[in-house]
Amino acid sequence: MGAPSTARRGEPRGSGRRLGWPRRVSSQILLMQLALATGVTILAAALFLAPYSDELDRQVMRRAMAIAQSTAVDPGLAEALLTTPADPDGPVQRRAERIRRATGAEYVVVLDTRGVRWSHTLPERVGHRVSTDPSAALAGEEWMGIDTGTMGRTARGKVPLYDREGRIVGAVSVGIPYEGVRDRVIAAVPGVLAYAGGALAVGALVAFAHSRRLQRRTRDLAFSDIAALLDEREAMLHGIREGVVALDGAGRLRLVNDEAARLLGIDPEHTGRPLDDVLRPGRTADVLAGRVAGSDLLTVSDGRVLVANRMPTADGGAVATLRDRTELEQLGRELDSTRGLIDALRAQDHEHANHLHTLLGLLELGMTEEATEYIAEAAGGRRATAEQVTGRIRDPLLAALLVGKATVAAERGVPLVLTGELPDRAVDPRGLVTIVGNLVDNALDAAVGSPVPLVEVDLRADGETVRLRVADSGPGIPAERRELVFADGWTTKEPPAHGKRGLGLALVRRLAERHGGHAEVGERPGGGAEFTVVLPEALAPAPGRVPGSRLPVP
């Protein structure tokens, strides 16, 4: 598929831009990243300032508590509280004010057990009750917190005041203005914002750089464009009549379209699993995995002839395409057979011409009896061959094939001997024709030119099992190559004009395995090669017999 156009789908070129959410993927990602960076920065600043403010509150309250505690331990303060009246110029007021000025507190209030002030920042309030509840301190407990009183909102610390005998005679309350804490927090805000702004600027630059990279990778498309392209990709992959298999860097199936699933006999739901776990060992798995290099590689899968090409991807994976050449191979083999028949017919034409010339000469010489005998002998030879084949092989397709092969063999000077019998109960006649035809063709090619050319074909039925033996008088096959001959693409012959060789024996073995049988090659007694094929359940049960039995049903 070609590079997608950068023009927005559904938006004509030159149309005015409308404000709103951008359509391009890169712009949307940039805005989302900026919004995320801004939100994270604000949240981080808030999370910093909130504990910072709480910590300042605790520090100020502890400071107020410390001042109150140090004031309460003054040895003369409790005695002055007990022996002098609540006077703005009295010793308690003077001691408290001295401490307030020394510590910078907002106020230092000393009160008796009734809650009456004996000291205050404002002298006119001396002798009046305090505005906040002093019961906790008067009960002997220390208290600190943020409270609002006559001096406004302050951080306060309250402690009990004891006399020399340890009795509570009053309390000390110290306040520090809360506005000072707020001012410190506000003063810290510019620094925090400066750091947050710097982090936000860095985040914005990173987001912009990532957006530009994403813009190049997505070719400035919108999400709707990408979704449409994915839909088109799915429709194309599953609609084309060519198998497509995609693998990742680890050799796992990443994509299997419908045609590939059909050709390989696998389930599209196997995506994500290793290729070697889905396909059985063999040339097909080796080609798809890249263990066999090359282009237009031929392989056989479940009786289908496939042409495979594999292209590596940048992530270490690969995409393989599969084309079904089964029909083309069949047509090619039919063409080879047709050419052989044409050659045989051409030879027969010369032979018939010779027969006619001989017959004409006999008639011109008046030798009618000799002419009659000559015609009977010539016609009887052909008829005998056909009757011999049809008498042994009852399946019409297979019989016709062997009659034609016998004719070709005779014209090539190779005797073809047929033994055994086969009833007309073949479950897969075309598959059987393919097996026999391939083996006989190879045997004829091997036997031609041998000192004593011969091809032997033995077809026998053993219950529902077909046993086939095809032997030739050719040079034979070395022991180390007897398994190699069944591999896809292996051949010792020159390739024909219409394609490649090396598929016939591979098809024979695959068809045999499809029937649950096997195919093997050995040495013929006397020299040459001998192929044996066993096909269990290749014949339908005979009438009156249970499948798999050898005896009639009672």
- With bands split at pLDDT 50, 70 and 90, how would you rate the model's confidence at 547? very low
pLDDT at position 23 is: 58
Burial label for 275, CB within 10 Å (0-12, 13-18, 19+), is buried
- In this predicted model, which residue has the larger pLDDT, 413 or 470? 470
Q: Which residue has the higher pLDDT, 467 or 347?
A: 467
Q: Answer for the pair 171, 164: CB distance below 8 angstroms, yes or no.
A: no
If pLDDT is split at 50, 70 and 90, which confidence band does 489 have?
Answer: low
Confidence of residue 550 (pLDDT cuts 50, 70, 90): very low
Average pLDDT value for residue range 60-75: 87
Which pLDDT band holds residue 13 (cuts at 50, 70, 90)? very low
pLDDT of residue 469: 94
Tens digits of residue pLDDT in 132-146? 888 888 888 999 887
Helix, strand, coil percent content, the chain, rounded in steps of 5 = 50, 20, 30
Q: Taking the CA atoms of the chain, what radius of gyration do you get in angstroms?
A: 52
Per-residue pLDDT tens for 371-392? 777 676 665 555 556 777 888 8
Q: Is 18 left (phi over 0), alpha (psi -120 to 50) or beta?
A: beta
pLDDT at 4: 43
What pLDDT does 172 receive?
93
Mean confidence (pLDDT) of the chain = 76
The more confidently predicted of residues 219 and 529 is 529
**Can you tell me the distance from the alpha carbon of 402 to that of 394, in angstroms, rounded to the nearest whole number?**
11
Range with the poorest average pLDDT among 276-285, 344-353, 489-498: 489-498
Per-residue pLDDT, 110: 92
Identify the top-confidence range among 135-149, 296-310, 481-495, 535-549: 135-149
265 versus 472: the higher-pLDDT residue is 472
Q: What is the pLDDT of residue 456?
A: 93
Q: Which domains does the chain have, with CATH numbers?
A: 21-221 (3.30.450.20), 240-324 (3.30.450.20), 392-535 (3.30.565.10)
Long-range contacts of 251-260 (CB under 8 A, 24+ apart): 251/275, 251/276, 251/289, 253/278, 254/317, 259/322, 260/322
Q: Which residues, including other chains, have CB under 8 Å from residue 180's CB and lie 6 or more apart?
A: 60
Please report, for residues 287, 293, 381, 447, the alpha-carbon distance to residue 453 in angstroms, rounded to integers and kept in the order given.
Answer: 39, 39, 20, 5
In angstroms, rounded to a whole number, what is the distance separating the alpha carbons of residues 396 and 390? 8
> Going by DSSP bridges, is the β-strand pair 465-472/107-112 parallel, antiparallel, or unpaired?
unpaired
